[in-house]
Amino acid sequence: MNLKPRAISVLSGGLDSTVATTYLKDHYQIHAVTFNYGQRSAEMEIKSSQAICDALDIEHTVIDLPWLAALGNSALTSQEEVPQIGMDQLDNKELCDQTARKVWVPGRNIVFTAIATSFAESEGAKAIIVGWDQEEAATFPDNSQGFLKAFNKVLEIGSPDEIEIEAPLINLEKTGIVELGDRVDAPLHLSYSCYLGGEEHCGTCESCMRRKRAFYKSGVVDRTVYSD
């Protein structure tokens, strides 16, 4: 009999959610949910998420949100060109703000976390696990400390159950996330970060660049296959 409390993990298959889920897997009985919202990388994200759940021996559900792709004009869900960025530009706040706007999906984390709340209430889960982190928060406000505190306040007021969002990476940069993932034996090699959705990581989109830099700076062996 599993006496651990239940938790819902919002698992994209990327580095952040993979490490966050692995970090808390011994504390909770986890049900991971992955969203297909029409993103270019949906097939690979789902494939990666399933492999991660198999490795961690946790339940996995894919949720289709076809309507989300039709909103806005994100390069992730349209034919707009995905911006590329050099390794030496990753800390250029003004430039990264511009690239973030091009890949912004309207209300994505609000929608994902709200749906995860529905799962949590229906399953009696005590927590929602997310991979929000400090590096992403620099350009994506829905990864920030303020967003985390505000959403937990919404749950406190709006849910009859005691549910808390757990964001164990909220104070970490990508390098620290890779280091933590290595320490907790997260299946980093199964994670998928590329915006373009190819079998191999493109190696040139901003997400790939941040992944490559994190592995390089951490000294952890990067088993990712990059096209470039």
Q: State the CATH number of the domain containing residue 22.
A: 3.40.50.620
Q: Is the pLDDT of residue 228 over 80?
A: no
> pLDDT-based confidence at 85, cuts 50/70/90?
confident
b vs e for 133-161, b when ≥16 Cβ sit within 10 Å of the residue's Cβ?
Answer: bbbbbbbbebbbeebbeebbeebeeeeee
Is residue 133 situated within a structural domain?
Answer: yes
Q: Is residue 227 part of a domain?
A: no
Residue 42 is assigned to a structural domain of this protein: yes
Residue-range definition of the domain harbouring residue 161 = 6-218
Q: Is residue 225 part of a domain?
A: no
12 domain residue, yes or no: yes
Average pLDDT over every residue of 202-212: 96
In a domain, 15, yes or no: yes
Confidence of residue 1 (pLDDT cuts 50, 70, 90): low
Domain presence at residue 39: yes
Helices and strands, counts by H and E, the chain? 8, 5
Percent over 90 (pLDDT), the chain: 93
Per residue in 65-80, pLDDT (tens digit) is 999 999 988 999 998 9
228 in a structural domain: no
Number of folded domains that form the chain: 1
Mean pLDDT of the chain: 96
- Which range of 2-11, 76-85, 122-131 scores highest in mean pLDDT? It is 122-131
Look up the pTM and report it: 0.96
